[in-house]
Amino acid sequence: MPPPCWAPPTGFITPSPARPFFMTEPCDMSALEAAKAISDGHLTSEALVRSCLSRIETREPEVDAWSALDADAALAEARLRDASPTAGPLHGVPVGVKDVIDTAGLTTSYGSPIYDGHHPFADASCVALLRAAGMVVLGKTVTTEFANRHPGRTRNPHNPAHTPGGSSSGSAAAVACGMVPLGIGTQTGGSVIRPSAFCGVVGFKPTYGRVPRTGLKFLSESLDTIGVMARTVPDAAAFAAILEGTAVAALPELQGPPRIGVCRSPAWAEIERDGEAALRDASARFREAGAIISEVNLPRTFDDAPAAQMAIMAYEGARELAAEREQNWDQLSPALRQSIVEGLGISRERYDKARSTQAACRSSLSDAFGRIDVIVTPAAPGEAPLGVGSTGSASFNRIWTLIGAPCVTVPGLSGKRGLPIGTQFVGLPGQAAYTLACAHWAHGVLTR
């Protein structure tokens, strides 16, 4: 059985002085556990928020996960929840919202100095939906510039010399060190799965098009997907359902250990020794736990998938950011300017071809699922790289984002530096619930 709440996966990650686990603190509870405690009268939303704020006070100087935080407003919202009837299965639970998503009451800067002090008129749809479900917006979490490459100031909570990954850097780091039980992220290349893996949390990117994007600052409309960070798979599933505006349901029961297809993917040349060992280790444990393991070779259409994802992202990014490109060029980072120049250099024909590749890959993936239930593939090349100048490579994520497939990364393994390594599960578009169930099973196996 998976852990009821997020415990340090003993034996895989060495607990470090930089990551103290006060397991009795409310802020270390899983979201569903905390919500149950609130619903049962053993905890208040206010006490939970205070616990999170206290953890933030301790860890924020080193981790730097938050771009905007209004403790008084969060406590007021929590007290309002405590005074109101339960509105959903995560009633009273606070969340961190990636700062490319609008919040009416909190500065929303999209990781860019252009938007310093910007106050949107309205909440993004997903923020309104979580508030309507009785949840609390704790604050905004650091993003890279417009969710592109230029990093924010966040550091990996396991070791501040390392990147937390990106672009959803703050949400992953905050959830990892107990600052908040849930975070919202977005993924265009690998921006939910990679930081989740680097920070040792569960990351879930739903099927493309499921979470409404009103109030999300677009980087690439055909790819941008709102996802979540959590400490357990059921937490992630419940939170994502709320953001999608659908009923929260229990994960489907597996009929037995899943049939797992191990996929090296077109990015295999980038795998690091730690990443390779982790995939081998995970496969062995899954097999030991009863799973049927086979190797998956993706259809040949996928050979063009990495380049297609990069072309779509650059082409669309240069146009979605037209206002900033035309009116605020001097305030863009060199990395973003380069992305925009690249995007403007891509012909319409090349873009159309990339969109055709996207469609072809999406429809051909089901061929790979004939004899398997779910794909297992690395979440990243290995551990979080040293330094915070880059958020690492999205190579193991971009092909799945391209086709809009649901992706889940679960923690439980680590590399030679003691930093977390994620194991990524990928399902067919539209089959997120089943993919989550497989990932939940696997999380249990890896943290047993």
CB 160 within 8 A of CB 18: yes
- Say if strands 292-296 and 407-414 run parallel, antiparallel, or are unpaired: unpaired
**In terms of Cα–Cα distance, which of 402, 59, 391, 21 is closest to 231?**
21
123, 145, 274, 383: residue in contact with a second copy (rule CB under 8 A): 123
* Shortest distance, position 189 Cβ to a second copy, whole Å: 18
Catalytic residue among 167, 168, 169, 333: 167
Q: Which of 323, 330, 334, 389 binds a second copy (CB under 8 A)?
A: 323
Under the criterion CB under 8 A, does residue 318 sit at the interface with a second copy?
Answer: yes
Catalytic residue among 98, 140, 205, 217: 98
Q: Which span sits near a second copy by CB under 8 A: 2-10, 208-216, 330-338, 394-402? A: 208-216
Residue 98: active-site member: yes
Among 164, 215, 275, 411, binds a second copy (CB under 8 A): 215
Per CB under 8 A, the list member of 209, 252, 256, 290 interacting with a second copy is 209
Residue 245 or 418 having the CB closest to a second copy: 245
| Per-state percent for the chain, helix, strand, coil, to nearest 5 | 40, 15, 45
| Closer residue to a second copy in complex, CB, 114/292 | 114
Our finding on whether 330 is near a second copy (CB under 8 A) is no
> Which of these ranges, 71-79, 115-123, 154-162, 303-311, lies near a second copy under the rule CB under 8 A?
115-123
* Smallest gap from residue 327 Cβ to a second copy (A): 7
CB of 289 to a second copy, least distance (A): 31
Residue of 188, 181, 179, 149 whose CA lies nearest to 165: 149
Helices 45-63, 169-176: crossing angle, 10 deg rounding: 110
Of residues 389 through 448, those in contact with a second copy by CB under 8 A are: 430
Q: How many CB atoms lie within 10 A of CB 132?
A: 13
Q: Which residues contact 81 (CB under 8 A, 6 or more apart)?
A: 45, 87, 91, 92, 134, 135, 136
Number of H helices, E strands in the chain: 14, 11
Contact 282, 413 (CB under 8 A): yes
Exactly one of 33, 77, 272, 320 binds a second copy (CB under 8 A); that residue is 320
Which amino acid appears at position 239 of this protein? F
Least Å distance between CB 350 and a second copy? 12
Among 14, 20, 23, 118, binds a second copy (CB under 8 A): 118
Known catalytic membership, residue 167: yes
The b-or-e profile of 88-112 (16+ CB within 10 A means b, else e) is bbbbbbbbbbbbbbbbbebbbbbbb
DSSP code for 181: S
Q: Which residue from 324, 354, 412, 427 is in contact with a second copy, where contact means CB under 8 A?
A: 324
What number of other Cβ atoms are within 10 A of residue 113's Cβ? 14
Spell out the residues 6+ positions from residue 158 whose beta carbon is closer than 8 angstroms to its own: 13, 16, 18, 19, 176, 199, 200, 384, 418, 419, 420
Q: d(Cα 292, Cα 283) in Å, to the nearest integer?
A: 10
Q: How far apart are CA 113 and CA 94, in angstroms?
A: 27
Q: How far apart are the first and last CA of the chain?
A: 7
Phi, psi (5° rounding) for residue 277? -65, -40
For position 88 contacting a second copy by CB under 8 A, the verdict is: no
**Residue 122 is which amino acid?**
A
**Part in contact with a second copy (CB under 8 A); list of ranges 77-85, 121-129, 298-306, 374-382:** 121-129
CA distance 157 to 179: 11
Q: Which of 68, 71, 76, 104 contacts a second copy by CB under 8 A?
A: 104
Are 379 and 193 in contact by the 8 Å Cβ rule? The answer is yes
Show contacts with a second copy in window 233-252 (CB under 8 A).
244-247
Contact 128, 216 (CB under 8 A): no
Cβ distance to a second copy smaller for residue 1 or 247: 247
Compute how many residues bind a second copy; rule: CB under 8 A. 43
Tokens of 206: 């739903």
- Minimum CB distance to a second copy smaller for 285 or for 350: 350
Stretch of residues binding a second copy (CB under 8 A), selected from 25-33, 77-85, 225-233, 313-321? 313-321
From 67-75, 126-134, 157-165, 174-182, span contacting a second copy (CB under 8 A)? 126-134
User: Which of 7, 23, 83, 132 touches a second copy by CB under 8 A?
Assistant: 132
Among 27, 90, 126, 267, binds a second copy (CB under 8 A): 126
The one segment of 1-9, 49-57, 321-329, 435-443 that binds a second copy by CB under 8 A: 321-329
Active-site pick, 191, 222, 339, 395? 191
- Residue from 6, 66, 198, 218 in contact with a second copy (CB under 8 A): 218
> Residues interacting with a second copy, by CB under 8 A?
104, 115, 118, 120-129, 131-132, 209, 212-215, 217-218, 221-222, 244-247, 316, 318-327, 348, 352, 355, 430
Known catalytic residues are 98, 167, 191
